[in-house]
Amino acid sequence: MRIFPVLAAIAVSALIYAFVFERDRLMAVMSPPATAQDTAADTSDDMAPEVDVATDTTASTSNDPVRVVAVHSQARTIDGAVVLRGQTEAMRQVEVRSETSGKVISEPLRKGSFVEEGQLMCRLNPASRQATLAEARARRNEAMSRVPEAQARLAEAEASLIEAEINDNAAAKLSEDGFASETRVASTRAAVSAAKAAVQAAKSGLEAAYSGIESAEATVASAEEEISRLDIRAPFAGLLESDTAELGSLLQAGSHCATVIQLNPVKLVGFAPETEVAKIHVGARAGAKLVSGAQVEGVVTFLSRSSDPQTRTFRVEVTVPNTDLALRDGQTAEIMVTADGTPAHLLPQSALTLDNDGILGVRVVSKDNTADFVPVQLMRDTPTGIWVSGLPDTADVIIIGQEYVISGVPVLPSYQDVGQ
C-alpha cells in the first residue's frame, strides 16, 4: 500500500531536478526545430545597421531658452531693527522704612493708592522727644547767655593789659633817668605779665562759651531731626504696592512702612547679544509688543558698557510714557530697536529658493540672459512681501520658474511689476 507514495515522491523529485539543474537541455528537447524562414529572419536581423544612441539623444535635446517671469527690483533703504526679549520694569521702586522706633498713630493707606511726593504714609508717636528738644533748646540759650559775660571779661582783661603796659613803659623811662627804682620796674613788668595771662584766660572763656553754644545747637538739631523722622513720607509720586503700617503697630529702626513704585514713565529692559549691540545707540527709537497685544514706543535711554558675565549680553533700557498706568511691572515684551538704514529689496516670498548646498537665495537674470543664483539674507517680513539684502542695487529677480532652472541655463524672461 506504501509503494505508490514512494514512486510519486521519486517522480516529483526527478522533475524538480530536471527543471532546476537541467533546464536548458529540457527546453532544447521540448522546442520545435528551426525552419529555413526563421533562420533567414535571424540573419537579416543580425545584418541590420546599428542606431547611434548618443546621436539620437542629442537630436532630441532642445536648445530653446526656458521661459520665466521676472521683476525689475530696485534697492531701497529701510530701517533695520534689533529684536530683543525682555520685560517691563518700574522706573523706581523703594521700600520705605522707619529711621527710628515708635508706635504708629496714623491711619493706614491701602495698596493701590496713589501718593504724591512728600505725602504722609506713617506717623510715629513722639513720646518724650518733644521734652528732649525743649531741654536742648534751654541748654543752647544758657550757653548763649554766657557769651556776653565772657566778652566783658575779655574786654576788662585787655584794658588791664593796656594799663599795665603804660605803667611799665613809664617805670622804664624813669629808671633810665634815675627817678625810679629797679623794684618798681620789676613790679610793673610783673603786672604786664599778669594782665596778659588774664587776657588769655578771658579769651579761653569766650571760646568755651562759643563751644557750648555749638554743642547745644548740635543737640537741638539732633532732637529736631529725631522728631522729623516720626513722619514717614513718600519719596516720590507713585503707587503703593503694599499697605502702610497698621495703626498701633510698633516700628523699630529699619521696619517696613510701605513700598512705593513709579510707573510713569516705565522702563523696557532687554539684553542684546554681542553680535547686535553695536547696532544700538542711546537715543534710538524703539517699540515693543506685549503679550497682551498692546504696542508702545519709546527711546533708548541706557546701554550697558559691561556685559553680563554669565550670558555675555548687554542690558538695554527703553523709557516709555505710561500716563494711564496701563503698563505694569514685570510684563513680558518683545522689544524692537531701530538700527541704521540698510539697502534691501522687497520681493514676493515665493521668489526664495535653495541651491544645491541648501543656501537661501534667489535666481536672477544675468546680462547674457542666463539664470544665476545669488544668496540673500532675510531682514523683515511684511504683508506685501519680504525684505532681503545681499543683492546689487538693481536686479532682475525670477519670481516664477526659478525652480526649473540652474545657473548658466538660458532663459527667456517676461517682466511684470512687483505688485501684480
Query: Using an 8 Å Cβ cutoff, are 70 and 414 in contact?
Result: yes
CA–CA separation, 98 and 230 (whole Å): 8
pLDDT at 2: 63
Q: Is the dihedral of CA 408, 413, 416, 419 positive or negative?
A: negative
Report the distance separating Cα 303 and Cα 371, nearest Å: 46
Angle among Cα 223, 224, 228 to the nearest 5 degrees reads 120
Tell me which DSSP letter residue 393 carries.
S
Three-state DSSP class for 169? helix
Task: Look at residue 61 and tell me whether its pLDDT is greater than 80.
Answer: no
Peptide bond into 126 cis (omega under 30): no
In sequence order, the β-bridge partners of residue 290 are 333
Reported as a pLDDT band with limits 50, 70 and 90, residue 50 is very low
Among the listed ranges 166-170, 193-197, 331-335, which one has the minimum average pLDDT value?
166-170
pLDDT of 59 strictly over 60: no
Judge whether 379 and 342 are in contact, CB under 8 Å: yes
Taking phi over 0 as left and psi of -120 to 50 as alpha, with beta for the rest, 54 belongs to alpha
Q: Is 27 left (phi over 0), alpha (psi -120 to 50) or beta?
A: alpha
The per-residue pLDDT for 64 is: 80
Please tell me whether residue 4 adopts helix, strand or coil conformation.
helix
Residues of the chain above pLDDT 90, percent: 50
What are the C-alpha distances in Å from 135 to residues 84, 126, 130, 218, 299? 62, 15, 9, 12, 56
Q: What is the pLDDT of residues 325-371, one digit of tens each?
A: 889 999 999 999 987 777 889 999 989 999 888 899 999 999 999 99
Give the tens place of pLDDT for each residue, 237-286: 999 999 999 999 999 999 999 999 999 999 999 999 998 888 899 999 99
- pLDDT value of position 63: 64
Q: Residue 267 belongs to what H/E stretch?
A: strand 256-272
pTM score of the predicted model: 0.55
C-alpha cell at 262: 513709579
Buried b (16+ CB within 10 A) or exposed e, 28-37: eeeeeeeeee
Single-letter amino acid, residue 269:
V
pLDDT of 98 strictly over 80: yes
Residue length of the chain: 420
pLDDT at 12: 73
Ramachandran angles phi, psi of 287, nearest 5°: -135, 165
The more confidently predicted of residues 175 and 220 is 220
Res. 52 pLDDT band, cuts 50 70 90: very low
**Segment 301-323 mean pLDDT:** 93
Q: How confident is the model at residue 123 (pLDDT cuts 50, 70, 90)?
A: very high
All domains in the chain, ordered by first residue: 66-78+343-415 (2.40.420.20), 96-125+230-256 (2.40.50.100), 129-228 (1.10.287.620), 259-340 (2.40.30.170)
Q: What is the mean pLDDT of the chain?
A: 84
HSE at residue 100, side-chain half, CA atoms within 13 A, is 21
Residue 283's SS3 state is: coil
Long-range (24+ apart) CB contacts under 8 A made by 295-300 are: 296/268, 296/320, 296/322, 296/327, 298/265, 298/268, 300/337
